Structure 1
Amino acid sequence: MIITKELAQKWFTVFAEKVIQDKEQLSEYDRIIGDGDHGMNMARGAQQLLSSWQETPPVHLADVFKQAAMKWISGVGGASGPLYGTAFFEMAKAIGTKEELQHEELVNVIKAGFDGIRKRGKSEVGQKTMLDVWAPAIESLEEKQLTTEILETTLTKVTALKATKGRASFLGERSINEVDPGAASSKLFFEALLEAGDLNGD
């Protein structure tokens, strides 16, 4: 499986469409344990990205990630804008001038995004954040075992955690069994990657 500019653009297009479609549900998750705007904010960035590609299509593989980073940083409010924006920017930096990625290179690019989120959010795995979806997704992808079922199971496990980071941490025990909106949108991100191509193939 080789990631080209076209496939990367398909990945982000599917992600954007999923976010727009699920914006109400994402905001409902956020209303319970956050400030209620995750879905609407994410959908705004997604729509801006899709619109920008109509005017300025990406030329190089890294451009897909750079343009996504710019739209999330400039157009998405709350914590999710800077976190996703940083992830996409770090992924673009990891790609550099490459115009295609082999499977192992893709894993390393996603790891760079993970590290960007971790540093920007000053968070770690286990705190009930988007990292708790990214980490097992990366691990499964390394083993060429990533599936929608694994992503579903991962989100269920994250939902069972008590939040110890971000606005949700103020709820304490009440955050247990509530869906973290960032984890939910991260699940959509990796589902979109699966839909874009056969990542577990050669």
Structure 2
Amino acid sequence: MSATMDTALTAAWIRRAAEWVAADAARLTRLDAAIGDGDHGHNLTRGLAAAVDGLQEDVPPGKVLIAAGRAIVSKTGGASGPLYGTALRRAGKSFGDAEEIDAATLGTALKAALDGIVELGQAAEGDKTMVDALAPAVAAYQATLADGGDLAACARAAADAAEQGADATVPMQARKGRASYLGARSAGHLDPGAASTALIMRALADTVTGTLPGAETAIEG
């Protein structure tokens, strides 16, 4: 378990997220087929694979995330590419050139990621989007940090909140994106962007705690 994130740990997070999204791509795509374009899992898998291919371990953690964000934008189709790409680039820029990222700095970066998504997607909590997973994750992270939690505790709290936030999208009626075209028919479905966000946040938690279990332990359905 590490008290800080360095370049190697940041790269490990991207790799783990890529592994888990790839393993869960079929489910994510099924979720998207119900209320969207039916390509979220496969598109995000392609984008994260490109991010992994471009990983460098001789640069600061911030530059790792910025490069990953650029790769995702260039290789991920649909709305998720720009959204996830913006999130990672904003987070990376908030790191600056620091070689070691502590809990407070990561919390600031996650907030920057959320702000970038909200700004680009013009979505808020309750709109049935990835914001419904990431916003509570950021809030839980900050609350745990304020209570004296270390990096691992904060990341675990964020992952738990992201999963709960994603589950909470099921009864919602979508107000943004392709799903909003369905009106009341969008209710009763888990939002795919919220689902993938929860997966990526769990990958972060497992990376910083050093548990790194196999993908099958983090994926349901």
TM-score, normalised to structure 2, is 0.84
**Percent pairwise identity:** 37
Deviation at 1:88, TM superposition (A): 0.8
Q: CA deviation at 1:75?
A: 0.3
Decide whether the 8 Å contact of 2:6 with 2:60 is kept in 1. Answer: no
1:161 aligns with 2:172: yes
Amino acid in structure 2 at the alignment position of 1:61: P
CA contact (8 A) 1:58 1:64 kept: no
Matched, 1:27 2:38: no
Give CA-to-partner distance per residue, 1:26-75, whole Å, 9 cap, x none. 1111111000011110010111122223xx44521112101111111100
Contact 2:138 2:158 in 1 (8 A): no
* Residues 168-197 of structure 1, C-alpha deviations (whole Å, 9 max, x = no match): 011111111201111011001100111012
Q: Cα 1:66–1:149, aligned 2, differ >3 Å: closer, same or farther?
A: closer
Matched, 1:129 2:129: yes
Segments of 5+ residues of structure 1 without an aligned counterpart are none
Please give the TM-score of this superposition, normalised by the length of structure 1: 0.92
Q: Does 1:116 align with 2:127?
A: no
Residue 41 (structure 1) aligns with? 43
Amino acid at match of 1:47: A
Q: Distance in 2 between matches of 1:48 and 1:57?
A: 15
Q: State the distance in 1 between where 2:158 and 2:81 align.
A: 26
Give the residue type in structure 2 aligned to 1:92: G
2:198 corresponds in structure 1 to: 187
**Alignment correspondent of 2:147:** none
Report whether the alignment pairs 1:52 with 2:54: yes
- 2:150: which partner in 1? none
The answer to whether structure 1 residue 142 and structure 2 residue 153 are counterparts is no
Q: Structure 1 residue 147: deviation in Å?
A: 6.2
Q: Which residue of 2 aligns with 1:16?
A: 18
Cα distance in 1 between the residues matched to 2:6 and 2:127: 34
Instruction: Give the CA deviation at 1:89.
Output: 0.9
- C-alpha deviation, 1:159, in angstroms: 1.7
How far apart, in 2, do the equivalents of 1:130 and 1:188 lie?
A: 11
The CA distance in 1 between the partners of 2:137 and 2:119, in whole Å, is: 19
Contact 1:129 1:183 in 2 (8 A): yes
Secondary structure at the counterpart of residue 159 of structure 1: coil
The verdict on how the C-alpha distance between 1:148 and 1:173 changes in structure 2, with shifts beyond 3 A counting, is same
Partner letter of residue 196 of structure 2?
S
Aligned positions of 1:60-79 closer than 5 A: 60-79=60-79
- Map of 1:75-94 to 2, 5 A cutoff? 75-94=75-94
Distance in 1 separating the partners of 2:49 and 2:79: 18
CA distance in 1, matches of 2:185, 2:107: 35
CA distance in 2, matches of 1:192, 1:117: 19
What CA deviation, in whole Å up to 9, does each residue of 1:134-189 have, x standing for no partner? 01111111123616544432221122211001110111111112011110110011
From the superposition, tell whether residues 150 and 31 of structure 1 become closer, same or farther in structure 2 (CA, over 3 Å): same
Query: What is the RMSD of the two structures over their aligned residues, measured on CA atoms?
Result: 1.6
